[in-house]
Each structure stands twice: as C-alpha cells, then as structure tokens.
C-alpha cells in the first residue's frame, strides 16, 4: 500500500491511497481530481478559466449594487461617494481573481511536474461518474 508524502496535520487514514474501504470522494474532491487529470493532459488557459468566475463576479456586483442602494442616504455625509468606494472594492476583487488565474496558468507547468498522475488515477478508480 502506497502512502502520500507526510503531512503532520493528517491522520493515518488520510494518508492511504487506493485503500479498499476508503470512503468515496466528495463531489468537490472528485471534481478537483477530474480537473487536475484534464489539465495534466492539456495545460489550462485563461479562456478556459475565466468563464468559471463570471457568476461569482455577477454575485459580487449585485451585492455591491445593493450596498450602494442601501447606503445612498448615509453616503451623503461622506466626502467620497460610497458608490465609488464600493466600485473600487469590486474592481479590486475582479483584478485579484484575474491575477490569481494568470498565476495558475503561468505556474501550471511546474505544478504539473510534481502532481502524481498515478495517484489521481487510483483515487478516481471506482468513483461514480
């Protein structure tokens, strides 16, 4: 039985790969492993990653718009309009995410070299599709 590299915070049960009787992976774990397997075959691109964030940005935009609407009366007492402050926060969120996505794309070749593709395949074996 093969074990993963030592993690001082993991229990011994977490260290086993492909052990019979291991609980099935959660949907999130399964999805992450499937994405890694796909990216090991073909490097991720910004065009592929960006659409995943559009829904988040829409939700953030709605939250900030609601903030502007709810704070419109209070904002009259400030020198800087609250709408500009919230717009700046929203743009910061979007730019942070884009920077993270670019970092993922640019660092993927080195990450792909240290990911154990055989371990991913063993973990995905026998999992429901």
Task: Calculate the alpha carbon distances from 28 to 22, 24, 32, 99, 106 in Å.
Answer: 16, 11, 6, 23, 24
Beta bridge partners of 3: 16
> In this model, does residue 18 exceed pLDDT 50?
no
Percent share of the chain, pLDDT over 90: 35
Residue range(s) defining the domain that contains residue 87? 12-124
pTM comes to 0.65
Q: Does the residue 76 lie in any domain?
A: yes
Q: Which residue has the higher pLDDT, 126 or 84?
A: 84
Q: Does the residue 4 lie in any domain?
A: no
Residues 57, 129 contacting (CB under 8 angstroms): no
Q: Does the residue 120 lie in any domain?
A: yes
Count how many domains the chain has: 1
Give tens-digit pLDDT for 42-71. Answer: 999 999 899 889 999 999 999 988 888 887
Q: List CB contacts of 75: < 8 A, sequence separation 6 or more.
A: 68, 81, 82, 83
> In this model, does residue 116 exceed pLDDT 70?
yes
């Amino acid at each position: 039985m093969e074990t993963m590299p030592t993690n001082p915070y993991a229990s011994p049960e977490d260290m086993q790969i492909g052990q019979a009787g291991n609980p099935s992976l959660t949907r999130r774990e399964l999805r992450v492993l499937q994405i890694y397997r796909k990216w090991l075959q073909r490097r991720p691109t910004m065009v592929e990653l960006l659409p995943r964030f559009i829904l988040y940005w829409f939700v953030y935009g709605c939250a900030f718009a609601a903030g502007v609407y709810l704070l419109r009366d209070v904002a009259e007492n400030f020198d800087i309009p609250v709408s500009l402050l919230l717009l700046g926060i929203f743009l910061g969120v979007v730019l942070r995410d884009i920077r993270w996505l670019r970092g993922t794309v640019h660092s993927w070749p080195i990450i792909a070299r240290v990911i154990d593709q055989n371990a991913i395949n063993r973990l995905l074996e026998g999992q429901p599709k």
